[in-house]
Amino acid sequence: MFQYDYLIIGAGLFGSMFAYKAKLAGKRVLVIDKRPHVGGNLYCENIEGINVHKYGAHIFHTSNKDVWSFVNSIVEFNRYTNSPVANYKGKLYNLPFNMNTFYQMWGVKTPNEALMKINEQRNSAIEKMRGEGISTPRNLEEQALSLIGNDIYEKLIKGYTEKQWGRSCTDLPAFIIKRLPVRLVFDNNYFNDKYQGIPIGGYNIFIKNLLYKVDVNLNTDFFSNRIYWENMAEKIVFTGKIDEFYNYCFGKLEYRTVCFEEEIHDCTNYQGNAVINYTDKSVPYTRIIEHKHFEMFGLEVDACPKTVISKEYSMEWKEGMEPYYPVNDERNSRLYQQYKALASQEKNVIFGGRLAEYQYYDMHQIVEKILTFNL
């Protein structure tokens, strides 16, 4: 007789959501996590009265009304709208690419003028490729040039992308940029989704409410005593690295990771926006996050006497670092398929989340997946 119905390895969003649903269904659930806190990469630390996103900015967005209603039933979300700004060599551009961006880039004032400029640059790039015998973009650079042209690619895409992936755009696959959103309106709202926001009081409250009355063991590494933990429950929900679960029998998958340089400033407002991307490759970090803007608006910003920023540095993952993003190339895709084939044979193990499925997920996708999951 097992002590629990489910052992959930990892107290991030997937694990916490699964625990919530299983507990609601009357199942006996134990969650373990090797970190000293729950929430995975959603974890926030309160510094100077500000909820600091310790593992990078997380902005919830969805067009699924059921998903939005569900997360708001756990904790009320605020009205935060993601409107990042790009800094290229000291000049600022609004994101995503919209009429504000095109005015800042070229001085154009009407949608027709903007479209003419974009098409002029796109067609020039396409003609150049055709002259070189290239009919289909072979890499990210050619794909981006054929979609948006030279100016926006060089100033707002190239440097940022190469910092993010640690590779030249000519060495990255074209499918990473399937399309580039172009808005011929003055609209700086980054997401197209109908709903977006941040939990009021931060993500810690959201996770805490999901795990209410669920047994949780922190500072607990599944692999340090694997046999013991495998005999704890009838089924296992695994949210860690799938290659580690199988002892790297086919080889190690690769990841990108992010390191953060945190600073406290004695001012009420450092940059005037939550997210500013630095798209010039000579700047070593990819972006600066000013955390107070996620939850403080208007006069609230000035009422808090200090501010906290995080500079983000993207780099190759090494042992001991936190794996963030799967590397989308042929070698890793082929390797993951081998691990996936092994996983498909498991009867009592459920693999879920970005590490276990070697796939990037937005938060709403995880929530929707668990809400529709049959226990």
Just list the catalytic residues: 179, 183, 256, 287, 312, 360, 362
- Using CA atoms, how far apart are residues 277 and 359, in angstroms rounded to an integer? 24
Does the bond joining 323 to the residue before it have cis omega, within 30 degrees of 0?
no
31: β partners: 8, 216
Pairing of strands 287-290, 44-47: unpaired
Contact yes or no for 9/221 (Cβ under 8 A): no
Q: Where are the beta strands (DSSP E) in the chain?
A: 4-9, 29-32, 44-47, 50-53, 60-62, 85-88, 91-94, 195-197, 215-217, 233-238, 255-265, 275-278, 287-290, 307-316, 325-326, 349-351
Q: Residue type for 197, please?
A: G
Geometric angle at alpha carbon 120, from 177 and 173, rounded to 5° = 20
Q: Which two tokens stand for residue 107?
A: 């001085």
Cβ-based neighbours of 294, under 8 Å, separated by 6 or more:
51, 53, 57, 59, 80, 198, 274
Which residue, among 257, 322, 267, has the nearest Cα to 50 in the 3D structure? 267
Q: Residue type for 93, please?
A: Y
Cβ-based neighbours of 198, under 8 Å, separated by 6 or more:
58, 59, 60, 77, 78, 80, 294, 295
- Using CA atoms, how far apart are residues 238 and 294, in angstroms rounded to an integer? 31
- How many Cα atoms within 13 Å fall on the side-chain side of residue 301? 15
